[in-house]
């Protein structure tokens, strides 16, 4: 069953086309990775899918709901973990979860149990009553994923979920993302810069370049498509995404990414 579908999704900012005729179909239960160099349009695609940015052209549906026409209902069936750190450091882990459980209309009778389960699932039970500003980077990311999962959405959007994390914390986050799929059959739509992450986690990946999809398929298919022995995903990425020095995100995005990395570090 297709849970996410886009047809000719386009976003323009003035004369600049950030995303150009983006067309994909994601099956339920897939972990779909969106790769691309900085400024390729990955975050713009996610923002359109999560209803934060209206598309200039094209359509996108999530669980059969149009992201423009049924924006309010789409928000009820998705979970989103932004690239920036979004957990509130002035609240405890438990409070962060209970607040979002209410905002996501989690039934009152189940709310506390869901929060308890989410904390246990992410291995944060012992730290539940600590202020989030005392958490490590990996713990904050796990808490954010727990926040986005409280209402059991069929699809979860992760925007560079492991940016700025050390290898150990990254492994833990990967493990939890995989468990979300196996335990809850959650569809994951994620962007990443890490090729090893895409290769080990994603069932399919799309590589974006200059706002367009340059290639799409399973990691092994993509490796096979450029042929040759000992091909890695880095080679695939370099082949499809090019490597021009002109490409890259803007000053503000770079500043945010670095700030996030600093906070996580």
Partner 1 sequence: MRQRGPGAQPAGSASPYLYRVSPQAAFFAFVRKTLTIVEMEVRKLRHDVTELLTRAVQPALWLLVFGEVLASTRAIPSGNLSYEAFIAPGILAQSVLFIAIFYGIAIIWERDLGLAHKLLVTPTPRSALVLGKGLAAGIRGLTQGVIIYLLAALLGVSMNWDPWALLGVIALIVLGASLFATFSLIIASIVKTRERFMGHRPAPGYALLLCQQRHIPNFHNAGLVTGYRPDESLELRGRRVAGADASGRSEYLWPGSGLRGLDHCGVWAANAGGTVVPKCRDITETRKNTRKPGCHE
Using CB under 8 A as the binding rule, whether residue 52 contacts partner 1 is answered as yes
User: Which residue is listed with tokens 């890695």?
Assistant: 232
Contacts with partner 1, 234-253, as mask; x by CB under 8 A: ------------------x-
Interface with partner 1 (CB under 8 A), residue total 37
Stretch that binds partner 1, among 91-99, 117-125, 179-187, 236-244 (CB under 8 A): 91-99
| Touching partner 1, residues 162-191 (CB under 8 A) | none
CB of 137 to partner 1, least distance (A): 14
Query: Which alpha helices (H) appear in 17-166, and where do they start and end?
Result: 42-49, 71-77, 93-103, 108-121, 137-149
Segment 109-114 long-range contacts (CB within 8 Å, at least 24 positions apart): 114/150
User: How far is residue 204's CA from residue 151's CA, in Å, rounded to a whole number?
Assistant: 25
Per-residue interface string for the shown chain with partner 1, residues 95-124, x marking contact by CB under 8 A: x---xx-xxxx-------------------
| Angle at the Cα of 68 from the Cα atoms of 28 and 111, rounded to 5 degrees | 60
Q: Which among 109, 125, 108, 107 is positioned nearest to 117, based on CA atoms?
A: 125
Query: Toward partner 1, which CB reaches closer, 54 or 64?
Result: 64
Residues, the chain: 265
Whichever of 65 and 124 has its CB closer to partner 1, that residue is: 65
* DSSP SS3 for 9: strand
Q: Minimum Å distance from CB 73 to partner 1?
A: 6
Per CB under 8 A, which region of 6-14, 187-195, 220-228, 254-262 contacts partner 1? 254-262
- Binding partner 1 (rule: CB under 8 A), the pick from 2, 27, 76, 166 is 76
Integer Cα distance of 210 and 2 in angstroms: 26
Output the smallest distance, CB 123 to partner 1, in A. 21
The CA distance from 53 to 32, in Å, is 21
Minimum CB distance to partner 1 smaller for 73 or for 193:
73
- Is the CB of 85 or the CB of 201 nearer to partner 1? 85
CA angle 214, 171, 191 (to 5 degrees): 25
Q: Which residues contact 261 (CB under 8 A, 6 or more apart)?
A: 163, 164
Binding mask 31-50 for partner 1 (x = CB under 8 A): -------------------x
Q: Which of 86, 117, 178, 203 binds partner 1 (CB under 8 A)?
A: 86
């Amino acid at each position: 069953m297709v849970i996410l579908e886009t047809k000719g999704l386009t976003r323009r900012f003035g004369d600049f086309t950030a995303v150009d005729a983006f067309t994909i179909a994601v099956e339920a239960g897939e972990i779909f990775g969106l790769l691309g160099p900085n400024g390729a349009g990955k975050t713009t695609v996610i923002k359109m899918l999560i209803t934060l940015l209206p598309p200039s052209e094209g359509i996108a549906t999530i669980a059969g709901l149009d992201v423009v026409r049924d924006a309010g209902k789409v928000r009820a069936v998705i979970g989103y973990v932004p690239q920036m750190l979004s957990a509130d450091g002035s609240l405890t882990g438990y409070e962060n979860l209970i607040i979002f459980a209410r905002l996501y209309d989690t039934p009152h009778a189940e709310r506390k149990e869901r929060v308890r389960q989410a904390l246990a699932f992410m291995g944060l039970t012992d730290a539940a009553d600590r202020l989030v500003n005392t958490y490590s980077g990996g713990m904050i990311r796990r808490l954010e994923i727990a926040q986005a999962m409280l209402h059991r959405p069929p699809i979860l959007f992760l925007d560079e979920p492991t940016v700025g994390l050390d290898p150990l914390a990254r492994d833990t986050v990967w493990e939890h993302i995989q468990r979300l799929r196996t335990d809850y059959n959650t569809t994951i739509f994620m962007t990443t810069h890490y090729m090893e992450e895409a290769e080990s986690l994603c069932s399919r990946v799309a590589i974006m370049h200059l706002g367009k999809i340059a290639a799409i398929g399973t990691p092994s298919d993509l490796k096979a498509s450029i042929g040759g022995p000992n091909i890695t995903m880095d080679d695939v990425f370099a082949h499809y995404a090019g490597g021009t020095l002109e490409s890259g995100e803007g000053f503000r995005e770079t500043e945010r990414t670095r700030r996030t990395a600093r906070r996580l570090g």
